[in-house]
Structure 1
Amino acid sequence: MAEKCATIAFDADDTLWENEQFFRMTQARFGELLADFTDPDHLAERLLAAERRNLGHYGFGIKGFVLSMIETAIEVTEERVPAAVIGELIAAGQEMLRHPIHLLDGVEETIPALAEEFEILLVTKGDLLDQERKLAQSGLGELFDGVEVVSDKTATVYSSIFERHNVTPDRAMMVGNSMKSDVLPPIAAGAWGVYIPHNFTWEIEQAKAPDAHPRYRQLSSLRDLPALIASVFV
């Protein structure tokens, strides 16, 4: 088989399948459960602060989110949160971990087509077991030449991934919905960064776009990716 001319790496959550909307649904329920103790806006601010504070302890994913909700509930109620509320938060997290996969528009057609012509990788953050579950349920698992579940996405992490897969960065492209994780670090590592916005993006994953950078592109849909790849890797 001839060597494939380029490597295309993909984020998973909110790039290939829905994810953030389930966090927001659970957070709305969190607000309802604690409505007698604080208003939703203040609660959201406290939860976001807890999530930022806890990233170094729990990493990214549902389990850390649930623990941050519990911590926030204890704080805003001055340790008076009912045990039943804690139980509901745990149950909500378990429900999130069981939620079926909903592929985003264009994924089912685009990923198999690209896999025929390019080396494709999955580079995602989050809990290993949960990401493995979602990849298995997606039906896409066998299409990827490599799967990397990482604790964070930095330029150093991307450089290590490219080296491990014998990828030359200028022949690599990372595609995702997070400017902070999927675009800026791969560009810093010498690769292309392609931003495909999602309706919902976690505040922690937002950053300013490098509009003037020659290796940055933005698309409105994954369906537009093959044409972009053809124009870049000639």
Structure 2
Amino acid sequence: MRILTTVGFDADDTLWHNERFFKLTQARFAELLAEHAAPDHLAERLLATERRNIGQYGFGIKGFVLSMIETAIEVTEARVPAEVIAQLLEAGREMLAHPIDLLPHAAEAVAAVSESHRVVLITKGDLLHQERKLAQSGLGDLFDAVEIVSDKTAARYDAIFARHGDGAGPGMMVGNSMKSDVVPMIEAGGWGVHVPHDLAWDLEHAEAPGGTERFHALPDLASLAALVAEIG
């Protein structure tokens, strides 16, 4: 009986670049609001707004743009020029239209694992945008299933791996977020593999899980297939 039967992959900043576009837009946001707030203070205000809005807007570019607009209204005491709002909306449209740039070894890793195990894409974000990114990535046909979710929790992983596999126990989740991809999957009883990205959203930070052999950290996706084969 196989020990590991199903492997889940995160998408943004695991298979393709994502956070760097947010950082570039945030720098543009700081330039537009330079007369009203210092960059560090503005970044703190924006992060607080994003944290407050996640429950309503969810994850993704649209919620990010709405949070920038809300922060701009707050720091200017409702005097933000309409032209600034227009530029923030345009920045969001540019982010949504940006072509997919796969990370090194992403295509090879998914293809290799899919030859021996069921593979599922499990990602947070806006439904239409994530579907479009997957279609542009060229990886869609490799996945046995795709789940675009509002959040990643142990209960969510339990349900997904039961629906598309044999439960979380013989399942593995691979991703760049310790908070979303690794910790809740291990809490659900599966394996969690952390593949860090150079850039990370502040709200995705978490400590690595201790005291478990089901946690693995890889420098990139090049050695994932070997790890999967080793586990079985």
TM-score by length of 2: 0.97
Distance in 1 between residues matched to 2:108 and 2:213, nearest whole Å: 28
Deviations 1:188-218 (CA, angstroms, capped at 9, x unpaired): 1111000000000101001000133211000
Distance in 2 between residues matched to 1:49 and 1:137, nearest whole Å: 32
Give the secondary-structure state (helix, strand or coil) at the position aligned to 1:16: coil
**Counterpart in the other structure of 2:210:** 211
Distance in 2 between residues matched to 1:84 and 1:5, nearest whole Å: 54
Matched to 1:93, the amino acid is G
**Counterpart in the other structure of 2:142:** 143
Give the secondary-structure state (helix, strand or coil) at the position aligned to 1:175: strand
Distance in 2 between residues matched to 1:194 and 1:156, nearest whole Å: 18
**Counterpart in the other structure of 2:92:** 93
Unaligned runs of 5+ in 1: none
How much identity, in percent, do the aligned residues show?
62
**Counterpart in the other structure of 1:69:** 68
Q: Does residue 165 in structure 1 map to residue 164 in structure 2?
A: yes
**Counterpart in the other structure of 1:14:** 13
Number of aligned residue pairs: 231
Aligned positions of 1:108-147 closer than 5 A: 108-147=107-146
Give the secondary-structure state (helix, strand or coil) at the position aligned to 1:173: strand
**Counterpart in the other structure of 1:36:** 35
Distance in 2 between residues matched to 1:161 and 1:69, nearest whole Å: 32
Distance in 2 between residues matched to 1:100 and 1:43, nearest whole Å: 28
Q: Report if the CA contact (8 A) 1:4-1:117 is conserved.
A: no
Give the secondary-structure state (helix, strand or coil) at the position aligned to 1:60: coil
Give the secondary-structure state (helix, strand or coil) at the position aligned to 2:169: helix
Q: Give the C-alpha shift of residue 34 in structure 1.
A: 0.3
**Counterpart in the other structure of 2:55:** 56
Distance in 2 between residues matched to 1:5 and 1:19, nearest whole Å: 29
Give the secondary-structure state (helix, strand or coil) at the position aligned to 1:169: coil
Q: Runs ≥4 in structure 1, deviation > 4 angstroms?
A: none
Distance in 2 between residues matched to 1:221 and 1:167, nearest whole Å: 27
Distance in 2 between residues matched to 1:232 and 1:182, nearest whole Å: 19
Distance in 2 between residues matched to 1:206 and 1:169, nearest whole Å: 23
Distance in 1 between residues matched to 2:163 and 2:118, nearest whole Å: 13
Q: Give the C-alpha shift of residue 4 in structure 1.
A: 10
Deviates more, 1:165-174 or 1:211-220: 165-174
Deviations 1:81-128 (CA, angstroms, capped at 9, x unpaired): 000000000000000000000000001222112111110000000000
Q: Report if the CA contact (8 A) 2:3-2:170 is conserved.
A: no
